[in-house]
């Protein structure tokens, strides 16, 4: 399954990398690409082991807002 999450609070490439790494550490995430310019993440995940709520929680734990 693929989802696009809006992410706010990123101000630099370090922020982008932090959000992307947080998503990639979630069990079941197959790929994650975060765009600083668009303020969003495109995440491909296995819906048997990950859920949108889990992805949003990972982004928020990293210090950003996810919608």
For the chain, how many structural domains are there in total? Answer: 1
- Residue 8: per-residue pLDDT: 98
Tokens in use for 3? 């989802």
CATH code, 17: 3.30.70.100
C-alpha torsion angle, residues 52, 55, 59, 64 (rounded to 10): 0
- Residue 42: per-residue pLDDT: 99
**Helix (H) or strand (E) run with residue 23 in it:** helix 13-24
Supply the range of the domain harboring residue 62. Answer: 2-66
- Which tens digits make up the pLDDT trace of 8-66? 999 999 999 999 999 999 999 999 999 999 999 999 999 999 999 999 999 999 999 99
User: Coil, helix or strand for 66?
Assistant: strand
């Amino acid at each position: 399954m693929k989802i696009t999450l809006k992410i706010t609070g990123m101000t630099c490439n370090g922020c982008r990398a932090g959000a992307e790494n947080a998503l990639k550490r979630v069990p079941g995430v197959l790929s994650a690409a975060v765009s600083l310019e668009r303020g969003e993440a495109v995440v491909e995940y296995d819906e048997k082991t990950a859920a949108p709520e889990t992805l949003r929680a990972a982004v928020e734990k990293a210090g950003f807002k996810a919608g």
